[in-house]
């Protein structure tokens, strides 16, 4: 199924849905699965993974929302080439920005609310907490199969706000992203502890930047040591979702706001992402 990014339009929302929201005031009740993406360290590819998961689920025909709660370093809009979109308000709340014509992939980010994209957000904890609460209560997602939440690195106020505000929705859990180096793997231990303390199930660990895909022949070479994330998953008895190699073509697509999945179907990186998606579409809330 092809998805080309497009300049979004504001949908004329159904009267029935509007009335429903006015009375229920709850835009997450139509969301089937909520997945948080966490990393202990910055720059390990958390936003990249969140973006590719959202696109992959959309390719599977799912309705997907992608919420960027990285208030100080929002990068999701840039990865979709939607940097300069404005958010519109309807009586029920904020309308997310749609990536595709069918309006099955919606994104929301602080970046859409900034007058200048280069503005720095210098907020103390309570203001960040209030913003996240608003993101989780006021965005009109409509019915979604999956809401993917991209978080800032570490375990800060933002993470606690997300977890607290999602409590009553029984989120599926968190995907933890690491790179193979020992220092990044060590940081994931703290993420696992955070999940345990806040009772968020760990869906699994992804080892990103695990090997390098040659731009000439697509051969994958291990530049750093490999397997740290997998070993950690074994140690903590949590699922290992796979190694995602570093592919310069993915970097280029993200920089240019292009859909990697449509451009490079032979990349081992794409196959690794597809494996993660296969696991996620099998998520069933009723399993223990």
Chain residues in the site for ligand ATP (CB under 6 A):
39, 42-48, 70, 73, 75, 153, 208-209, 244, 246-247, 250-251, 254, 269
* Residue 50 C-beta: closest distance to ligand ATP, Å: 8
Is 128 marked within a binding site? Answer: no
Is 217 marked within a binding site? Answer: yes
216 contact, one of ligand SF4, ligand ATP, none, CB 5-8 Å limit per kind: ligand SF4
Closest to ligand SF4 by CB, 116 or 216: 216
Is 90 marked within a binding site? Answer: no
Question: 133: buried, middle or exposed (CB in 10 Å: 19+, 13-18, 0-12)?
Answer: middle
Among 10, 19, 214, 223, which residue sits at the site for ligand SF4 (rule: CB under 6 A)? 214
Closest to ligand ATP by CB, 21 or 105: 105
Among 23, 124, 199, 216, which residue sits at the site for ligand SF4 (rule: CB under 6 A)? 216
Is 41 marked within a binding site? Answer: yes
219 contact, one of ligand ATP, ligand SF4, none, CB 5-8 Å limit per kind: ligand SF4
Among 143, 219, 255, 265, which residue sits at the site for ligand SF4 (rule: CB under 6 A)? 219
Is 65 marked within a binding site? Answer: no
Is 21 marked within a binding site? Answer: no
Q: Rule CB under 6 A: is residue 266 a binding residue for ligand SF4?
A: no
Which residues does the annotation place in the binding site?
40-47, 214, 217
Q: Which residues bind to ligand SF4, rule: CB under 6 A? A: 214, 216-217, 219
Residues in binding site for ATP: 40-47
């Amino acid at each position: 199924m092809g998805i080309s990014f497009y300049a979004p339009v504001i949908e004329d929302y159904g009267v029935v849905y509007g009335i429903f929201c006015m009375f229920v005031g709850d835009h997450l009740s139509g969301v089937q699965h909520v997945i948080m993406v966490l990393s202990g360290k910055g720059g390990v590819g958390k936003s990249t993974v969140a973006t590719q998961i959202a696109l992959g689920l959309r390719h599977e025909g799912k309705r997907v929302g992608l919420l960027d709660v990285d208030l100080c370093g929002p990068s999701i809009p840039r990865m979709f080439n939607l940097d300069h979109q404005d958010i519109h308000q309807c009586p029920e709340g904020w309308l997310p920005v749609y990536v595709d014509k069918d309006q099955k992939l919606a994104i929301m980010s602080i970046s859409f609310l900034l007058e200048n994209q280069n503005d720095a957000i210098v907020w103390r904890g309570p203001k960040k907490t209030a913003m996240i609460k608003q993101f989780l209560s006021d965005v009109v997602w409509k019915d979604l199969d999956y809401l993917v939440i991209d978080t800032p690195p570490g375990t800060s106020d933002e993470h606690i706000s997300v977890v607290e505000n999602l409590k009553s929705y029984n989120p599926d859990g968190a995907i933890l992203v690491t790179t193979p180096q020992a220092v990044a793997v060590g940081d994931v231990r703290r993420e696992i502890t955070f999940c345990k303390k806040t009772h968020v199930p760990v869906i699994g660990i992804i080892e990103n930047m695990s090997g390098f895909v040659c731009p000439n022949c697509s051969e994958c070479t291990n530049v750093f040591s490999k397997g740290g994330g997998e070993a950690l998953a074994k140690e903590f008895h949590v699922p290992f979702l796979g190694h995602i190699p570093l592919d310069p073509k993915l970097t280029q697509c993200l920089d240019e706001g292009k859909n990697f999945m449509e451009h490079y179907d032979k990349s081992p990186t794409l196959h690794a992402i597809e494996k993660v998606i296969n696991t996620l579409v099998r998520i069933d809330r009723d399993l223990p």
